[in-house]
Structure 1
Amino acid sequence: MADDKSKRGKPDRDRISLSEAYEVAYFAKKHGLSKEDAERIIKRHGSDRDAADKAAQRLK
């Protein structure tokens, strides 16, 4: 799913796009993960940021 830059606000902030390298990099840096671990979490939990954040916290 492509990230539509014209759609901003809460619905867009609630999602993480694997197709956007900067979003994956930010998620990895935020949680102190490698890029590969971040991608694995996002793939497993989908684009839902809350679910991915919780999974990253459990991984620490």
Structure 2
Amino acid sequence: MTGLTHKLAPDRSKINLQDRMELHYWLKHFRLSQEELQRAIDKVGNSAAAVRKELAV
């Protein structure tokens, strides 16, 4: 079955800023700008739980 593509569901426990659709999801979810989200990730890492805790959401 080579040649078939199977896109897996995004891992919602991690924030991937490299994936445009995932980035849009997280920006909307947290109601932040990309710069604000980047600062939070730089501070606590890309764990969604850690970012939630940092933002107190």
TM-score, normalising length: structure 1: 0.60
Cα RMSD after superposing both structures: 2.3
Percent sequence identity is 31
Structure 1 residue runs of 5 or longer lacking an equivalent are none
* Larger CA Rg, structure 1 vs 2: 2
What amino acid sits opposite 1:47 in the alignment? N
Residue 14 of structure 1: CA displacement? 1.1
Distance 2:19 2:56 in 1: 22
Contact 1:45-1:52 at 8 Å conserved across structures: yes
What amino acid sits opposite 2:38 in the alignment? E
TM-score, normalising length: structure 2: 0.62
- Structure 1 runs of 4+ with >4 Å offset: none
Structure 2 residue runs of 5 or longer lacking an equivalent are 1-6
Q: Structure 1 residues 21 and 56 mapped into 2: Cα distance closer, same or farther (>3 Å)?
A: farther
Aligned to 1:33: 32
